[in-house]
Homo-oligomer: A and B are copies of this chain.
């Protein structure tokens, strides 16, 4: 059940230009949160911005959690100004986390850009339940934007790097790297990143007979199923099921459920 909690900022670090990690003390949230879920963070006391900002839990500790984020606009700018010791209101945990199943033969995480933010916690959970570290494809536009490589390695994950400009790892798209990793039936692929990257990644995975879970993003007002703002189109034909809410029906979806054809990539950030 979600709570609204005033969380103390424990640590707050800039990892790379414009990329931050903040640790927040919030036992009520941390004790219930699962990898893949998110919180809605109140970045301003006033009305600019007016709404909370959705942020995945990066890692979940006993009474705290971390969030990895990148500067986008006013909300993340304000977030980045919080100092250790200050309080920040978080609503969560929200949404459905990643299902964790031990009877699969292989787990591959595919992260694009800041989409990686949801995966350290997933890797931890997979290691705990399945006893093997997932493989990780870390892709980004350029070297500076590759986050958490070391973290995954420390967990024992095999990490494959890819950048669009070749500044680190392969010069390739995440989906191309995945293809070369030869996913197969029994493999589950977890993807988070830009919509177009998730579409390509899921296409590769599904064509290879693997499962694919995607963690979607959308503009959110409530984060909690109420405003109907965060929908994406599903493959359901019926009027009542066509629109699925990223916040509470997701953010994690079976990639086969998403109607990639209907999605208008032109509107993506």
Contact = CB atoms under 8 A, between A and B. Distances in A.
Determine how many copies of this chain the complex contains: 2
A45 B77 CA distance: 10
Interface residues on A, range: under 10
A145 to B, nearest CB: 25
Contacts of A47: 48
A44 interface: yes
A240 interface: no
Nearest to A86: B81
A20 B201 CA distance: 56
Interface string A125-145: 000000000000000000000
Interface string A54-86: 000000000000000000001001100000000
A46 interface: yes
A176 to B, nearest CB: 41
Contacts of A77: 45
A78 B45 CA distance: 10
Contacts of A78: 46
A48 B45 CA distance: 10
A121 to B, nearest CB: 31
Nearest to A50: B48
A48 B48 CA distance: 6
Contacts of A48: 44, 46-48
Interface in A31-51: 44-49
A245 B264 CA distance: 54
Nearest to A74: B46
Given A46-B49, A46-B74, A47-B48, 5 more contacts: A44-B46, A45-B77, A46-B48, A46-B78, A48-B48
Interface of A: 44-49, 74, 77-78
8 contacts: A44-B46, A44-B48, A45-B77, A46-B46, A46-B48, A46-B74, A46-B78, A47-B48
